[in-house]
Amino acid sequence: MPTYTSAPKPRSHSQYNQFAQCGEAYRLARVEKRPSDPAGWFIQGTAVHSGVEAYERSGRSISPAAVVAHYHQKWEEELAAGLTVQSDTNRWMTGGFKSGTKDLADRRDLGEHQVLDYVTYAEQSGETIWTTPDGQLAIELEFTIQLGQVPMRGYIDQVVQTPYGLSVRDIKTGTKKQSSALQLALYRRAIWEQYQVDITWGDYFMCARKGRSPKPGGPTDPIDLTTIDQHWLERQYAAMDAAERNGVYLANPGDHCATCGVWKHCKAKGN
Ligand code: SF4
């Protein structure tokens, strides 16, 4: 059992997300620190973010080939790390029937396509990356704030200057539709706490798809983040923090078990 502490712990949105989806997965991964099975989608996501970051940090001055080189460099680093956990790529998680090796090859191609597509989007969109009042380019922007009683930290993928104003943006390399704007609302609050800049909008940038239904990448419709109540936002993270500190880890078996990195250790799955 976890050690109970009376003070809220530093939290992140990804902690909240994992805890809300399945408390047992949180406990196994973050309290018992069981190693998570590697999966191609983690590598793809990290490598695409790295390529996009390199492109934006350069002021969009590096060539598409250089963006792809950044992408592949990060891919190889992450692949090497995954291989130390599971050296047989056929045994990596895929979330489906495809072999791990084939899934990795497909995702490597898809990620390359996604970063190149992002460059095309950025050049044509008329949008630019915002510069914070203290002179930082708002890409992978680190924050540490006090949200009510709970210290929160994280990185904001992007804050973008759009024709309709600033928008906090999170980049998604998968196809899953986002069911909540809580993450974006947290980022909006973080920008307010750090810079006293009130941003109305948020969106998810859904990266390009290949395959049977190819689609270029682009942002979702803008979401009005001012409709999310600030006290409710604080209570969500406070509730997660209190539940976790009190050892309330509810297993929640479901479709997401297919992509759970700690399923091998899960008693809800009979392991
Ligand atoms: S396998 Fe399913 S129930 Fe078990 S920890 Fe993972 S997500 Fe939770």
Closest CA to 204 of 227, 175, 226: 175
Counting ligand 1 atoms within 8 A of each CB, the residue from 27, 93, 259, 262 with the most, and so the one to mutate, is 262
CA distance linking residue 233 with residue 191, whole number of Å: 15
Residue where the block lists tokens 């997660």 = 240
Tokens of 176: 């899953």
Global pTM exceeds 0.75: yes
> For residue range 238-253, what is the model confidence (pLDDT) as tens digits?
999 999 999 999 999 9
The pLDDT assigned to 106 comes to: 96
The pLDDT assigned to 176 comes to: 86
The pLDDT assigned to 4 comes to: 56
- Residue with CA nearest ligand 1 atom 3: 253
- Residue with CA nearest ligand 1 atom 7: 257
The pLDDT assigned to 179 comes to: 82
What is the CATH number that goes with domain 128-243? 3.40.1350
**Cα 191 from chain centre:** 18
Measured in Å, how far apart are the chain's first and last C-alpha atoms?
19
| Domain residue ranges of the chain, discontinuous segments joined by + | 13-126+249-269, 128-243
The pLDDT assigned to 94 comes to: 92
93 lines ligand 1 (CB under 6 A): no
Alpha-carbon dihedral 17, 154, 46, 64, rounded to 10 degrees? 130
Residue where the block lists tokens 């380019």 = 137
269 lines ligand 1 (CB under 6 A): yes
The pLDDT assigned to 5 comes to: 61
Taking 70 as the pLDDT cut, the residues of the chain under it are 1-5
Distance, CA 30 to ligand 1 centroid (Å)? 13
The pLDDT assigned to 100 comes to: 93
The pLDDT assigned to 105 comes to: 97
Q: What's phi and psi for 120, nearest 5 deg?
A: -60, -45
Instruction: Please tell me the chain's helix, strand, coil percentages from 3-state DSSP, rounded to the nearest 5.
Output: 50, 20, 35
98 lines ligand 1 (CB under 6 A): no
| Strand-pair category, 165-172 with 201-206 | parallel
Tokens of 214: 């190819």
